[in-house]
Structure 1
Amino acid sequence: MIRRLPVIPTVVVLLAVATMIWLGVWQLQRRHEKEAAIVILRANPAKPSVAFPKLPPVDPELMFRRSSVHCLRVVGWREEAGRAADGSVGFRQIAQCSTGAEGPGVLVNVGVAARANAKTNWTGGQIEGWISEEPDHRSLLARATGETVPLRPMLIARTPAPGLKAAAPPHTEDIPNNHLAYAVQWFLFAGVALIIYIIAVRKRLMPPPPSAS
């Protein structure tokens, strides 16, 4: 009996492998884009201050620029692991501010606490700092596949709220550029998937052992 190559499974596997290779190539392109953006970011802190962006995503031309916001009142708090300007690690205190009757409000990193669940009596007001983005909580798979979730702009306060340390100013070293690693992963996934399928097909196409007479 002649065994033939299974058409539908082969097409499915080849499409999956092609998709993984395309994702790898796309990540390589993203790497070059990120490198170009980092060049811009390095120069931004020395540029004149600009108006704080209201909506995401934050344009690379605005990231790390000096800016200011007026927090009418604090409507909530978020706590994230982070680093202070003196190099110590702790918990960033991120205030969710209202800026008016309408609009999305703003996020302000008002400083770093040495311990979790710290309290500060900061209730708002005019505050200056640098434009950044809120913490990125996307999974590794979401980042590797390029799933886009616009991150809201966040101001890193130059002067900390009472009882807190000043947060570390934004720096290009904090911007991950893992696109080469993601590309290598996708190419490896494609290669492994193809090898496994070839082995499976070879076993399927092997003639059956002769039956004992």
Structure 2
Amino acid sequence: MARATDPTPDLNSKAPAGHRRGFPVLPTMMVALALPILIGLGLWQVSRLHWKQQVIAEMQAAATLPVLAVSGPIPPKSAFRMADIRLDCPEQLPLAESARNRKGDSGWSTILACTAPGGESAQLMLGWSPVSAGPSTQSVPAERRQVQGVLVPGAHVQWRIYPPVTPPPLQPIQPPTPDTIPNNHRLYAIQWFAFAGILLVIYGLWLRRWVAQRPPAA
């Protein structure tokens, strides 16, 4: 007859009660590598924030300077400054895009593609017309135009010139201002610092759970 075995474990046995895991080196190394990167990106956005604030302050100061007489290349840091400039505008059908006049009314802008004295590409924001008038469909003859207007960096050209006086029946277009330039670097910095904080919290909770689930030492 077979002898029955006792299922009760021998507490005096030197066999390990379970597998004992070592310290989680790989996850810790991954966190140690990712954390400085996230913090570094946040600090970089802080430096970009200060740089953007300085640029906007320079543009705001330029808007208060006397009229700039331009006879050659447009000087650096001339954005949002009033300038007296000669533009060479070839014969063309004016461009049109949605715009607002200085009262805030929606309508169409009439835009001429021109060349500044220094060879820079420029657009003369000739004037605004109401929606009911529709975009201009009349060709404009070639002309060398001496105009005064606010210099604004363009998206597809180097400069846009917004004159405060326009030929009737057009009205002046509301130009952008330095205050309309987006400066989202503060939010970006908060985002990266938040990612770093979330990573630390997740790692801390995971490490706490790992310690709680470790088998006791023999």
Instruction: Report the CA distance between 1:42 and its aligned residue.
Output: 2.6
Tell me, what secondary structure is at the counterpart of 1:35?
A: helix
**Percent of aligned positions that are identical:** 26
Instruction: Report the CA distance between 1:87 and its aligned residue.
Output: 2.5
Kindly tell me: are residues 3 and 30 of structure 1, through their superposed partners in 2, closer, same or farther at Cα, counting changes over 3 Å?
Answer: same
What is the aligned counterpart of 1:19 among 37, 49, 65? 37
Please tell me whether residue 85 in structure 1 is matched to residue 102 in structure 2: yes
Please tell me whether residue 2 in structure 1 is matched to residue 21 in structure 2: yes
What is the aligned counterpart of 2:114 among 83, 86, 97? 97
Please tell me whether residue 48 in structure 1 is matched to residue 67 in structure 2: yes
Kindly tell me: are residues 197 and 157 of structure 1, through their superposed partners in 2, closer, same or farther at Cα, counting changes over 3 Å?
Answer: farther
Hey, what does 2:7 align to over in structure 1? none
Q: Which amino acid aligns with 1:51?
A: V
* Residue pair 1:52, 1:131 contacting (<8 A) in 2 also: no
Hey, what does 2:181 align to over in structure 1? 175
Gap regions ≥5 residues in structure 1: 137-150
Instruction: Report the CA distance between 1:122 and its aligned residue.
Output: 6.3
Hey, what does 2:127 align to over in structure 1? 111
**1:127-206 equivalent positions in 2, closer than 5 A:** 127-135=147-155, 152-160=158-166, 164-200=170-206
Instruction: Report the CA distance between 1:209 and its aligned residue.
Output: 8.6
TM-score in terms of structure 1 length:
0.64
Tell me, what secondary structure is at the counterpart of 1:85?
A: coil
Hey, what does 1:139 align to over in structure 2? none
- Distance, in Å, in 2 between the alignment partners of 1:180 and 1:205 is 37
Tell me, what secondary structure is at the counterpart of 2:68?
A: coil
Please tell me whether residue 30 in structure 1 is matched to residue 48 in structure 2: yes
Tell me, what secondary structure is at the counterpart of 1:110?
A: strand
Tell me, what secondary structure is at the counterpart of 1:118?
A: coil
- Distance, in Å, in 1 between the alignment partners of 2:124 and 2:108 is 14
Q: Which amino acid aligns with 2:39?
A: I
Instruction: Report the CA distance between 1:21 and its aligned residue.
Output: 1.9
* Residue pair 1:5, 1:205 contacting (<8 A) in 2 also: no
Aligned residues: 190
TM-score in terms of structure 2 length:
0.63
Kindly tell me: are residues 209 and 93 of structure 1, through their superposed partners in 2, closer, same or farther at Cα, counting changes over 3 Å?
Answer: farther
Gap regions ≥5 residues in structure 2: 1-19
Encode CA deviations 1:65-93: one digit per residue, 9 max, x unaligned.
122241422487363x5432222244545
Encode CA deviations 1:110-164: one digit per residue, 9 max, x unaligned.
334443972353636414311112259xxxxxxxxxxxxxx83322233346654
Q: Which moved more, 1:13-22 or 1:195-204?
A: 195-204
Kindly tell me: are residues 54 and 191 of structure 1, through their superposed partners in 2, closer, same or farther at Cα, counting changes over 3 Å?
Answer: farther
Query: Larger RCO: Structure 1 or Structure 2 (Cα < 8 Å, ≥ 6 residues apart)?
Result: 1
How big is the alpha-carbon RMSD for the aligned residues of Structure 1 and Structure 2?
Answer: 4.0
- Distance, in Å, in 2 between the alignment partners of 1:111 and 1:20 is 47
Q: Which amino acid aligns with 1:115?
A: V
Please tell me whether residue 65 in structure 1 is matched to residue 81 in structure 2: yes
